[in-house]
Structure 1
Amino acid sequence: MHKEQVRRFYEKLWNAHDKDAMPSVLHENFTFRGSLGQEKRGRAGFAEYVDMVHKALGDYRCIIEELVSEGEKVFAKMTFTGIHQDELMGYSPTKHQVSWNGCALFSFNGERIADVWVLGDLKDLEEQLKANET
């Protein structure tokens, strides 16, 4: 069940950008900590973060490489990709595709995701943004 919720988190909330699915996936007191220095509490705060990422990275996709579940926790090995179309990490849009790896640790409260810690390879992402500058 928990692995399926993590799949829904990425497929519905991120890839489909379907904020209406949040109540069925995220606990009401959800907390998100992301690599880009963001800490968001609650569904509304997280929705703002998702919007910001989608604005900066067109055709943004989260690709699940592996899921490992133990008890009330799920670990996800990920690839993130998108077209750099708005300012990101201080870099002006390059219109180039970027891709980087990361991982996330999910904790649950009942059937819903209560907490996510994400760590992405921002050094690799920044190197791509620098290389694509004109």
Structure 2
Amino acid sequence: MDHAATMRRTYERISAGDIDGFGDLVADDFVDHQGGPGFPATKEGTLDFFRSLRASFPDMQMNVEDVIADGDKAVARVTVTGTHQGEFMGMPPTGTRVVGVALIDIMRFDDDGLVCEHWGVSDMLSLMQQLGVVPAGAPS
């Protein structure tokens, strides 16, 4: 199975706003080890998180920079862009376009080729700086 190609398809579907199609690539017993804040670490919780994220950033694009696959796991380096047009983590929309927010994701695949586990880190500092919540640059 080509886990790298499946991983790329997850980002393509999320970027297209096809959250149900993304869900077709995720196992029913999926576990998200670094899921969205306030969302269950389940398949449905993850789908709800991405629906919420797409409501906050309706033009969000997840651009895959690199994918490395080995065995039952794949790792991706992704950059995210989008315009803050809906409430996000309690913040009202700013209309700000964010660019180059970095993500590193690890996905594990089951015997059917579906994503069954996820670990990830995202550059929340860059996102919050671009939204104006956290000052950018060196401390004064």
In 1, the alpha carbon distance for the partners of 2:40 and 2:121 equals 12
Residue identity in the other structure for 2:52: M
Pairs within 5 Å for 1:67-106: 67-99=67-99, 100-106=101-107
Greater RCO, CA 8 A, separation 6+: 1
The structure richer in helix per residue is 1
Q: Report how many residues are paired.
A: 130
Q: Is 2:23–2:47's contact at 8 Å kept on the other side of the alignment?
A: no
State the TM-score, normalized to the length of structure 2: 0.83
Partner residue of 1:120 out of 116, 119, 122: 122
Residue 109 (structure 2) aligns with:
108
C-alpha deviation, 1:78, in angstroms: 0.5
Conservation of the 8 A alpha-carbon contact between 1:26 and 1:114: yes
- Deviation at 1:35? 6.5
Q: 2:26 maps to what in 1?
A: 26
Distance 1:23 1:49, change over 3 A: closer
Q: Secondary structure at the match of 1:63?
A: strand
1:102-134 CA distance string (max 9 Å, x none): 110111111111011121100011011117xxx
Give the match for residue 65 of structure 2.
Answer: 65
2:58/2:82 contact within 8 Å kept? yes
Contact kept? 2:19, 2:51, Cα under 8 Å: no
Contact 1:35–1:120 (Cα < 8 Å) also in 2: no
1:4 equivalent to 2:2? Answer no
Deviation digits for residues 68-119 of structure 1 (CA, Å, limit 9, x no counterpart): 1111110000101110011223332111111211110111111111011121
Distance (whole Å) between structure 1 residues aligned to residue 36 and residue 26 of structure 2: 20
5+ long unaligned stretches in structure 2: 134-140
TM norm structure 1: 0.86
1-side partners of 2:120 and 2:40: how far apart?
10
Structure with the greater alpha carbon radius of gyration: 2
